[in-house]
Amino acid sequence: MFSNELVNKFQSLETPFYYYNVALLKETLEACQAASSKYNFHVHYALKANFDERVLQTIRSYNIGADCVSGGEVKKAIEIGFGKEKVVFAGVGKSDAEINYALDQDIFCFNVESIQELEVINDLAAKKGKTARVALRINPNVNAYTHKYITTGLEENKFGINQWEFDKVVAALRNLSNLKCLGLHFHIGSQITDLNVFKSLCIKVNEIVKWFVDRHVEISVINVGGGLGVDYYHPDTKSVVDFETYFKIFDSFLERSANQEVHFELGRALVANCGSLISRVLYVKNGQVTNFAILDAGMTELMRPALYQAYHKIENISKTSGEKTKNYDVVGPICESTDCFAKAVELPETQRGDLIAIRTAGAYGEVMASNYNLRDKVRVVYGE
Ligand code: LLP
């Protein structure tokens, strides 16, 4: 929801831009902290969802850890001031240079995705005379029931160590003396809205933790990843993210002893709702079959609809509700037919110059922007 005052302010600004509502981001972070701290859970923010400087500064000020998937993200997290002892580094293809950098920084933990990677980190740590802290990223073969492009915890996915390799991993850990295994890591997918999935995950995690503990592998950290989904259909309701229910599921179903910490890596749930992509209508084409509202933002600014057929609520914020409506295919200016935000969207009759808000775009929006068609870098505006 945008006040008239805000829309008037937007009128004078060059579009397109991401608008981040910092007050809403803070509210979300507070809700997350209130719900997670009840159980002493440790939350890391997945930088990949949004690494805008101001957004990161805000998140860091809540004393949250950082979940990184590249050397660049590790560097950014440390520069922003996330404590090194709270930085975790995941990713199926860490380069030697990235591993060396993270070793030099003494980050908290590498989430390791294969036996070969364990060997490489061990060798690189040995060369530095260091011991690397690692957690084993396990592929638990649990269905996240989300879009197939953002499912990561099935056998067919490239991520993590599969169950049939567990014996080999235990043997490898015994020989790799420059590693200290802290525990296990899981992440089964993103935009998970059926919270029963997390219950299934807990049950599987319990089994796997027990298997390793029975073989005398110390498990002091159980990292269950991220994936908590948001309600893209109702961006203005308070319950866009249900942190209370989410953390309670883990408290109820995840077996853990007093010396085991539970870690989370949330991205989308923390930042999606605070962001909107604000754009102007350049042209309206009224066709016989369909009408097009052609925006000055496209898939280069927000790729999710083109890539995953993702839904984002679209609003004409220059018009008041109650006006006569029409259906529009809302498209961008890029030379690709998939450059379409949504088809047959009911909007108040729309004109050149109207402002369009594409909601819930704070996660995996700006970070996935590209300069295809030699487009300018998308601008950012903050609201307090
Ligand atoms: N941890 C790991 C190891 C991950 O791979 C991810 C996301 C997260 C945590 C954070 O997940 P979240 O809480 O945000 O669901 N670009 C896609 C989403 C890709 C997610 C990749 N991994 C999208 O726009 O929907």
pLDDT in tens, 87-110: 999 999 999 999 999 999 999 999
- 372 and 342 in a common domain: yes
CA of 152 to the centre of ligand 1 (A): 9
- Which of 216, 251, 266 delimits the end of a domain? 266
- Which protein residue has the closest C-alpha to ligand 1 atom 8? 226
Active site positions, annotated: 335
Which percentage of the chain shows pLDDT scores above 70? 97
Q: Over 70: is that where the pLDDT of 64 sits? A: yes
Confidence class for position 27, pLDDT limits 50, 70, 90: very high
pLDDT of residue 140: 86
**Mean model confidence pLDDT for the chain:** 95
pLDDT of residue 176: 97
pLDDT in tens, 188-234: 999 999 999 999 999 999 999 999 999 999 999 999 999 999 999 99
- Which protein residue has the closest C-alpha to ligand 1 atom 7? 190
The tokens describing 354, both together, are: 């109207």
- 253 and 154 in a common domain: yes
Q: Is 135 in the pocket of ligand 1 (CB under 6 A)?
A: no
- 42 and 188 in a common domain: yes
The tokens describing 353, both together, are: 């110059």
Other beta carbons less than 10 A from residue 309's beta carbon: 12
Q: Is 46 in the pocket of ligand 1 (CB under 6 A)?
A: yes
Q: 179 in a domain, yes or no?
A: yes
CA of 15 to the centre of ligand 1 (A): 28
pLDDT in tens, 232-286: 999 998 777 899 999 999 999 999 999 999 999 999 999 999 999 999 999 999 9
Q: Over 90: is that where the pLDDT of 48 sits? A: yes
Where residue 126 sits, what CATH number does that domain have? 3.20.20.10
- 42 and 109 in a common domain: yes
Return binding residues for pyridoxal 5'-phosphate.
Answer: 227, 265-268, 364
User: Based on the structure, what is the number of domains in the chain?
Assistant: 2
Q: Is 225 in the pocket of ligand 1 (CB under 6 A)?
A: yes
Where residue 330 sits, what CATH number does that domain have? 2.40.37.10
- Which of 231, 266, 301 delimits the end of a domain? 266
Q: 32 in a domain, yes or no?
A: no
Mean pLDDT for the stretch of residues 149-176: 83
Q: 22 in a domain, yes or no?
A: no
Q: 348 in a domain, yes or no?
A: yes
pLDDT of residue 384: 87
- The string of DSSP codes covering 52-107 is -HHHHHHHHTTT-EEEESSHHHHHHHHHHT--GGGEEE--TT--HHHHHHHHHTT-
Q: 356 in a domain, yes or no?
A: yes
Q: 29 in a domain, yes or no?
A: no
Q: Is 240 in the pocket of ligand 1 (CB under 6 A)?
A: no
Q: Is 160 in the pocket of ligand 1 (CB under 6 A)?
A: no
Ligand 1 atom closest to the Cα of residue 267 is: 14
Return binding residues.
Answer: 227, 265-268, 304, 308, 336, 364
Which percentage of the chain shows pLDDT scores above 90? 89
- Which of 241, 266, 291 delimits the end of a domain? 266
Q: Over 90: is that where the pLDDT of 334 sits? A: yes
Q: Over 80: is that where the pLDDT of 315 sits? A: yes
Q: Is 266 in the pocket of ligand 1 (CB under 6 A)?
A: yes
- 183 and 77 in a common domain: yes
Range of the domain at 378: 4-17+273-383
- 369 and 315 in a common domain: yes
pLDDT in tens, 120-161: 999 999 999 999 999 999 988 887 776 666 566 566 677 789
- 199 and 151 in a common domain: yes
CA of 158 to the centre of ligand 1 (A): 14
CA of 190 to the centre of ligand 1 (A): 5
pLDDT of residue 240: 78
Q: 225 in a domain, yes or no?
A: yes
- 305 and 216 in a common domain: no
- 193 and 328 in a common domain: no
- Which protein residue has the closest C-alpha to ligand 1 atom 5? 187
Q: 361 in a domain, yes or no?
A: yes
What are the residue ranges of helices labelled H in the chain? 4-11, 22-37, 53-60, 71-80, 96-104, 115-127, 166-175, 196-214, 243-253, 268-271, 304-308
- Distance (Å, rounded) from C-alpha 125 to C-alpha 132? 6
pLDDT of residue 63: 85
Q: Is 227 in the pocket of ligand 1 (CB under 6 A)?
A: yes
- Which protein residue has the closest C-alpha to ligand 1 atom 3? 187
- 296 and 225 in a common domain: no
Ligand 1 atom closest to the Cα of residue 91 is: 3
- 167 and 314 in a common domain: no
- Specify the higher pLDDT residue, 355 or 321: 355
Global pTM reads 0.96
CA of 87 to the centre of ligand 1 (A): 16
- 340 and 221 in a common domain: no
